[in-house]
Amino acid sequence: MTETAARGRSRMLRIVRVAEETRDARSLVFEVPEADRDRFSYRPGQFLTLRIPSDRTGSVARCYSLASSPHEAEQLTVTVKRTADGYGSNWLCANAVEGMELEVLPPGGVFTPKDLGADLLLFAGGSGITPVFSIVKSALAQGSGKIVLVYANRDESSVIFADRLAALSARYPRRLTVIHWLESVQGLPSRGQLQALATPFTGYEAFVCGPAPFMDAVTDALSSAGMPKSRVHVEVFTSLSGDPFAEVPAVAQDTATAKSTVPAEVELAGQTYAVDWPAGTPLVDVLLAKGIDAPYSCRDGECGSCQATLLKGKVTMIRNEVLGEDDVAEGYILTCQALPDPTGTDPIKIEFL
């Protein structure tokens, strides 16, 4: 097979508006052609991967969360905040203008509620508000549960979406509570203070996004407050080391009949597929070679877009920069890094999230 499985995944999308959110944050609004609507459908909390020009390397790939909601009449929007050493964020904030086209991969990520009607406890730090804002708007539009948002920033001028959060609080006073934490006023939040904020809501589903120290403090606080780990969802971004825009070489046809394959059942988007999984080939590559549109972004075990649950059988992962020990113990795997373990005795069954 000479064709590549990934050909045509990305699209050139035109920026139709650039909005200044704060002194160091911009929102980029993309126009999606009608023919690509399904390709760029998404769930609240997911992200886009953008190809950003670079004089040094030709381009870099960076993931930015969607601030728009798929349940509102909003165009596809990512919000980017400058970081001190962030090449991608600084380039976009300085150079992105209306009319510019950027190469974009379809939405990815698993930082998204399974049930928008659930009660939600949301923690956001700085630009971590971006996917959380999408979740807030979607849950208010589609659900009926209570939402508590704790939003931490350096100072008042750093608060992204301040006016829109205030408007939503006024519109849904019985459902949405927004607690602003400003370092300039209250100092950095301690684990004890975060635990006090979280304790009344340990029955909720928690989502956490922000700088690593903030997320560590929040997750420790949630654990101390007694919230089960199964109800705590954390978004982790790393700078991608590989090129997710590169074409994915298809698995050679004759490997499908090789003796070193393991039978597997894969559930994806409501469909069940039976595959013969070559022992040395990651699952994502196998699925793509069969024309199955498996979710992925980085293909390097760094972003979590390909995350799935191992329901039965045994697999190994080449690399894992995303899942914690508890996640792995609960059966979560990165299918772009997952290989079948031929020593396993049970048939392999995998379900994509």
Q: What is the pLDDT along the chain (353 residues), one digit of tens a residue?
A: 233 333 478 999 999 999 999 999 999 999 999 999 999 999 999 999 999 999 888 899 999 999 999 999 999 999 999 998 899 999 999 999 999 999 999 999 889 999 999 999 999 999 999 999 999 999 999 999 999 999 999 999 999 999 999 999 999 999 999 999 999 999 999 999 999 999 999 999 999 999 999 999 999 999 999 999 989 999 977 667 678 888 766 665 444 444 588 999 999 989 999 999 998 999 999 999 888 989 888 888 888 889 999 999 999 999 998 888 888 998 999 999 999 988 877 889 999 98
What structural domains and CATH numbers belong to the chain?
Answer: 11-107 (2.40.30.10), 120-234 (3.40.50.80), 253-352 (3.10.20.30)
Q: What is the pLDDT of residue 250?
A: 61
Q: In what order do the strands lie in the sheet with 271-278?
A: 271-278, 261-268, 348-352, 307-312, 332-334
DSSP secondary structure letter of residue 251: P
Q: What angle, rounded to 10 degrees, do the helices at 212-225 and 191-198 form? A: 50
DSSP secondary structure letter of residue 145: S
Residue matched to tokens 């199964």: 230
Q: What is the pLDDT of residue 254?
A: 45
- Please list, in sequence order, all residues whose beta carbon lies within 8 angstroms of the beta carbon of residue 271, skipping any fewer than 6 positions away: none
Give 273-331 as a DSSP string.
Answer: EEEEEETTS-HHHHHHHTT-----S-SSSSS-TTEEEEEES-EEES--SS--HHHHHTT
Report whether 277 contacts 267 (CB < 8 A): no
Report whether 19 contacts 100 (CB < 8 A): no
Q: What is the pLDDT of residue 244?
A: 84
Q: What is the pLDDT of residue 327?
A: 86
pTM across the whole model:
0.88
Alpha carbons 34 and 132: distance in angstroms, whole number: 27
